[in-house]
């Protein structure tokens, strides 16, 4: 078993289910962007796993950029305060941009990010998020590609962290009450 797998209470989405869903989403992206080149903008650090798997599943030619914005720190709920920790290296003006996220929770990070990116005048700007929680559906953001709608429980794995740990788990699951009580492993 992967490191820290013992801290998982329940697996909500298995590695197989994630792989299949990313394949399906990649096929939709390929169909939508046929004949174009896509700029994938991954949101560090959570999006690294979906970015790696999605980009390799696509047939569309892509380039990659990364941004790091943080609204969480080490807490388990969103503060609404977004900071740019790392900006894009290049201009996105005139580019077809697809923002790649692991999860939309409150939607605050993404709504701030989309406003920021839109001001840089891309030719198009869409979002792919592997996971979305119910609360996010109430925010006014148009997410073109969603992998899974999941319940509001705090979940880790496939990029999602608790105190920077658990990102490398190949599935998404809840933590045991003991692991939560122990606190983030920082």
Summarize as ranges the residues that interact with Mn ion (CB under 5 A): 46
Of 45 and 120, nearer to ligand PRP (C-beta) is 45
The CA-based dihedral angle spanning residues 86, 168, 104, 17, taken in that order and rounded to the nearest 10 degrees: 140
**Using CB under 5 A, which of 161, 169, 172, 173 touches Mg ion?**
161
Applying CB under 6 A, does 8 fall inside the site for ligand PRP?
A: no
The continuous run of DSSP H or E covering 49 comes out as helix 48-57
105 belongs to the catalytic site: yes
Evaluated on CA atoms 58, 62, 67, 71, the torsion sign reads negative
Per CB under 5 A, the segment of 4-12, 51-59, 68-76, 102-110 that binds Mg ion is 68-76
- Separation between Cα atoms, residue 7 and residue 96, nearest integer Å: 40
Per CB under 5 A, the segment of 8-16, 35-43, 159-167, 170-178 that binds Mg ion is 159-167
- Separation between Cα atoms, residue 2 and residue 130, nearest integer Å: 21
Evaluated on CA atoms 76, 81, 86, 89, the torsion sign reads positive
Exactly one of 105, 140, 142, 161 is catalytic; name it. 105
Of 144 and 165, nearer to Mg ion (C-beta) is 165
Of 62 and 99, nearer to Mn ion (C-beta) is 99
**Using CB under 6 A, which of 13, 39, 104, 125 touches ligand PRP?**
104
Q: Which residues are catalytic?
A: 105
């Amino acid at each position: 078993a992967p490191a820290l797998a013992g801290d998982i209470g329940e697996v909500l989405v298995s590695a197989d289910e994630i792989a299949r869903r990313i394949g399906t989403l990649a096929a939709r992206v390929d169909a939508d962007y046929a004949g174009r080149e896509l700029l994938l903008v991954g949101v560090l650090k959570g999006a690294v796993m979906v970015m790696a798997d999605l980009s390799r599943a696509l047939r569309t030619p892509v380039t990659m950029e990364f941004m790091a914005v943080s609204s969480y720190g080490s807490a388990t709920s969103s503060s609404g305060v977004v900071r740019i920790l790392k900006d894009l290296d290049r201009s996105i003006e005139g580019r077809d941009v697809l923002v790649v996220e692991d999860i939309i929770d409150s939607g605050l990070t993404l709504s701030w990010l989309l406003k920021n990116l839109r001001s840089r005048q891309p030719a198009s700007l869409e979002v792919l998020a592997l996971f979305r929680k119910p609360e996010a559906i109430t925010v006014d953001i148009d997410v073109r590609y969603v992998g899974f709608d999941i319940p509001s429980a705090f979940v880790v794995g496939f990029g999602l962290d608790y105190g920077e740990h658990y990102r490398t788990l190949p599935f998404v699951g809840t933590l045991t009450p003991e692991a939560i009580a122990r606190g983030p492993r920082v």
